[in-house]
Structure 1
C-alpha cells in the first residue's frame, strides 16, 4: 500500500485518513523505509495504549541501528536522549531528572509565565492582524524553558532557531548541523554554570544525585537538549491547535470567554481534539508481538499515532466534535507509561495562562484568513501551525 501520510492533504487534516485506516485495521504495515523493512502504524486507542506500555517495544535506538551504516551525523546528545532508552537506564535518568523538574517548580513559574504572556500580547495592536504562532505560541514556551534552564536572553533566538531546525523534515543536513550547534551550546552553558552556579533547573540537574549516582557529562548535555526542545515544541503546537479549535467551535469559545475559570478543566479535551504530537517517538519490537490482531515481527519499527488514537470513537464517542463537557483525562497527547511527557504540567500551565489572557483581553478574536489558507508544519512527528493570523 502507499503511505497516505505523504499526501499534502494529510498535513492539513490527518483525521479522515486515520479514520479510514483504523476502520480497516487499527494496526497495519506501512511501506518499507530506507532500511528496507516495513513499519507498523497504530491508529486505535486501545492498541496505542497497549503499545506505549509494552516493554517488548524498545526505544533504544542505539540497539536498533547498531551495525547499520548511516549517513546521518546527529550529535550523540541528540541521538541518544532519555527518550531513546529503556530501563534500567531510562528509569535511572528519569528519577534523577524528576528530582529537579517538579510540579513545585512549575507552580513557581506561573507569575513569570503570566508576565511574559502579557508582554507578548502587549505587542498586538487592535485592528491589525496578529500571528498567534509567531507572536505568542513560539516565543512564550522558548522564553519559559530558557528561563528555567538559565539560558541568557541574548542566546535565546539561536536556541529557538536550532530547535526549529531539528524538526526540518526532509533536510537531514540541517537537522544534523542543528543537533551539533545545540549540543555544543549546552556543553558551554553547563561549563559556565559549574563556574558560577545558581539555583535554576540546569543547576539542579548538575547537582542531582541518587546516592552515589549522578549524571555523566554526556547525560547532562543530552537531558539539557531534550528538556529545551521538548519543553517548548509540545507547548507551542498545543497552544496554536487549541486556539484554532476554539475559533472553529464558537459556542465553546464563548463558553470559555464568559467562564475563564473553566479553562483548566477544558485543557484535556483541547489536547485530545488536536494532539500536538501526532506520532510518538520511535519504537521497535524486540520479539514478535501481536497487536490489535496484527502479527508484528521482531525488529519492526512501530509508530503510534497519538492523534489517531485520541479520535478513536471506541474510546471517545463522536470524537471529531470538540466537547468541553467530555471527560478526556485518558487522552494520549502526552503519551502513556514510563515515557509519558515529563513536561506535561508545564505545558498545561502555559496553555491555561495564555488561553485565559487571550480570551479575556481579546474577546472578539477571530481568524484573519480562511482555514484552508492555514499552513501546517511539514512533519509527521508533530502537528502544529506555521502561522495563525487572527484579528479582534
Structure 2
C-alpha cells in the first residue's frame, strides 16, 4: 500500500509531499484515504472545522468505513444531541480528581514494566516490553478487561486500524472486537465491578443501551492503548536521538508536564481526526465548502503552524506552553486526555531514570515505523543499556 499523503511522514516530521500540499492556499483538494476531500492544515482552520458541529458532521465516518460502528454506540461517529448525552456520562470518569486517585496504580504498573524490561535485558524491544504493556494494563484495569485478553485485543485493534488491510477484512476484525466486547459487557451487567463499565452500568443503566455500552467500551479500549503506546515508543526514540532534551525529561521534575505537551505537539501521533462532512455551506480558510464535501484535518501540520508556534520544527521540552491539537478540539476533544498525559508524565521520567545509559541497539535508520494506520509510531524499538 502506498502511504496516503495525509499519513506520510519523514521520520518525526511531515513529509515533503504533505508540506507541498499544505503550501497551497485555502483548503486544497486532494485524494484522501477516504476519497476526494479537502485538507485543512493551518491551526486556525483545523480549529474552525473541529469546533463547528453545526456545519460539519462526524456521521460520515460510518458510511466511509463501511461499518456499523455508529450503530453500536461508537461515540466518535455521533453528532449532537446523541454525542452530548453520551459524553456527559463518560467525561466524569476522566476528571483530574479521578486521575489522581489512580496515579499510584499507574506508578506500580510502570515500575513492574521496568522490572520486566530489566529482566529481559540488557537489550530488549522497548515497544513490546514497555510502550505497549503500560497503557494496555492501565486501560484494562480501568475498563475491567481481563489483562490476559490483552494480546487478543491488541492484535485485533491493530489490524482494524491498518488501512493496508482490505476493508472487508477490517470490517470482519471489527465484528470480532464487537463480539468480544458484547460478551464483556454482558458479564459486567450481570455483576458490575468497580471499573468504568461497572460504574456506567450502576449510574446510567436505564439510560445507556447495551449497544451504547459496547460502543463506548470499544472506543475507550482502542483509544486508551493505541495512541499512548505509540507516544511512548515514538517519544522514546525521539528523546534518545536528542540527549539534551532527554536530560530535561529525566532530570527536571518541574519541567515534565510541559515536556509532555511539547512531545504531544511535536509528534502528533494521530495524523488526522475523523473526516468531517459538510452538511451546510460554510467558509473556512477563505474557501467556500459545499454540502457533501469531506474535510480531513491534518493535526501534524496544524501543530507545526508558525502562526501559532515559534520555530515549530524545533523540539524544545522547555518551550513555554503553546496550544496544540494533539487531542483534537471541540466536542470531540479526547475525553481520555488527562489519563494519557498522566501516563506519559509518569512513564517517560521513570524509564529514563531507571536506565540512565539507555541507547538504541541498532542504527536509527533501521527502526521500522507504522505507515499504514491513522496512528503513527514505531513497530519496534531495540534498545540496550
Query: What is the alpha-carbon distance in structure 2 between the residues aligned to residue 372 and residue 27 of structure 1?
Result: 34
Does the CA-based 8 Å contact 1:77-1:183 persist in structure 2?
A: no
Query: What is the alpha-carbon distance in structure 1 between the residues aligned to residue 104 and residue 7 of structure 2?
Result: 43
* Residue of structure 2 aligned with 1:176, choices 166, 171, 188: 171
Please report the RMSD computed on the Cα atoms of aligned residues, expressed in angstroms: 2.6
Query: What is the alpha-carbon distance in structure 2 between the residues aligned to residue 190 and residue 165 of structure 1?
Result: 22
* 1:94–1:127 distance in 2 versus 1, CA, 3 Å: closer
* Residue of structure 2 aligned with 1:54, choices 40, 52, 55: 52
Does the CA-based 8 Å contact 1:5-1:380 persist in structure 2?
A: no
* Residue of structure 2 aligned with 1:206, choices 181, 193, 201: 201
Query: What is the alpha-carbon distance in structure 2 between the residues aligned to residue 87 and residue 380 of structure 1?
Result: 27
Structure 2 match to 1:334 = 327
Equivalent residue of 1:236, what SS? Answer: helix
Equivalent residue of 1:311, what SS? Answer: coil
User: What displacement does 1:372 show?
Assistant: 2.0
1:86 aligns with 2:109: no
Query: What is the alpha-carbon distance in structure 2 between the residues aligned to residue 380 and residue 156 of structure 1?
Result: 20
1:30 aligns with 2:23: no
User: What displacement does 1:168 show?
Assistant: 2.0
* 1:78–1:177 distance in 2 versus 1, CA, 3 Å: farther
Query: What is the alpha-carbon distance in structure 1 between the residues aligned to residue 7 and residue 81 of structure 2?
Result: 39
Does the CA-based 8 Å contact 2:265-2:324 persist in structure 1?
A: yes
The aligned runs of 1:259-270 (5 Å cut-off) are 259-270=252-263
Structure 2 match to 1:159 = 153
Query: What is the alpha-carbon distance in structure 2 between the residues aligned to residue 375 and residue 217 of structure 1?
Result: 40
User: What displacement does 1:329 show?
Assistant: 4.1
* 1:208–1:202 distance in 2 versus 1, CA, 3 Å: same
Query: What is the alpha-carbon distance in structure 2 between the residues aligned to residue 289 and residue 371 of structure 1?
Result: 45
Equivalent residue of 2:323, what SS? Answer: coil
| Gap regions ≥5 residues in structure 2 | none
Structure 2 match to 1:142 = 136
**What TM-score, normalized to structure 1?**
0.89
Structure 2 match to 1:386 = 379
* 1:272–1:140 distance in 2 versus 1, CA, 3 Å: same
Does the CA-based 8 Å contact 2:99-2:338 persist in structure 1?
A: yes
Give aligned pairs, total. Answer: 381
User: What displacement does 1:123 show?
Assistant: 2.3
Is the deviation greater in 196-205 or in 239-248?
239-248
Query: What is the alpha-carbon distance in structure 2 between the residues aligned to residue 223 and residue 7 of structure 1?
Result: 26
User: What displacement does 1:130 show?
Assistant: 2.0
Structure 2 match to 1:244 = 237
Equivalent residue of 1:224, what SS? Answer: helix
Is the deviation greater in 23-32 or in 377-386?
23-32
* Residue of structure 1 aligned with 2:189, choices 181, 185, 194: 194
Query: What is the alpha-carbon distance in structure 2 between the residues aligned to residue 133 and residue 32 of structure 1?
Result: 29
1:291 aligns with 2:284: yes
Is the deviation greater in 131-140 or in 173-182?
173-182
1:235 aligns with 2:233: no
Structure 1 match to 2:347 = 354
Query: What is the alpha-carbon distance in structure 1 between the residues aligned to residue 3 and residue 356 of structure 2?
Result: 42
**What TM-score, normalized to structure 2?**
0.91
Is the deviation greater in 254-263 or in 296-305?
254-263
| Gap regions ≥5 residues in structure 1 | none
Does the CA-based 8 Å contact 1:275-1:306 persist in structure 2?
A: yes
1:232-275 CA-partner distances (Å, limit 9, x unpaired): 11111111222222222211112222223421221111100111
Equivalent residue of 1:24, what SS? Answer: coil
Structure 2 match to 1:307 = 300
User: What displacement does 1:92 show?
Assistant: 0.5
Query: What is the alpha-carbon distance in structure 1 between the residues aligned to residue 93 and residue 249 of structure 2?
Result: 34
Query: What is the alpha-carbon distance in structure 2 between the residues aligned to residue 294 and residue 77 of structure 1?
Result: 30
Equivalent residue of 1:40, what SS? Answer: strand
Does the CA-based 8 Å contact 2:26-2:285 persist in structure 1?
A: yes
* Residue of structure 2 aligned with 1:120, choices 113, 127, 130: 113
Query: What is the alpha-carbon distance in structure 1 between the residues aligned to residue 149 and residue 101 of structure 2?
Result: 23
* Residue of structure 2 aligned with 1:185, choices 180, 190, 206: 180
* Deviating 4+ runs (over 4 angstroms): 6-13, 32-35, 77-80
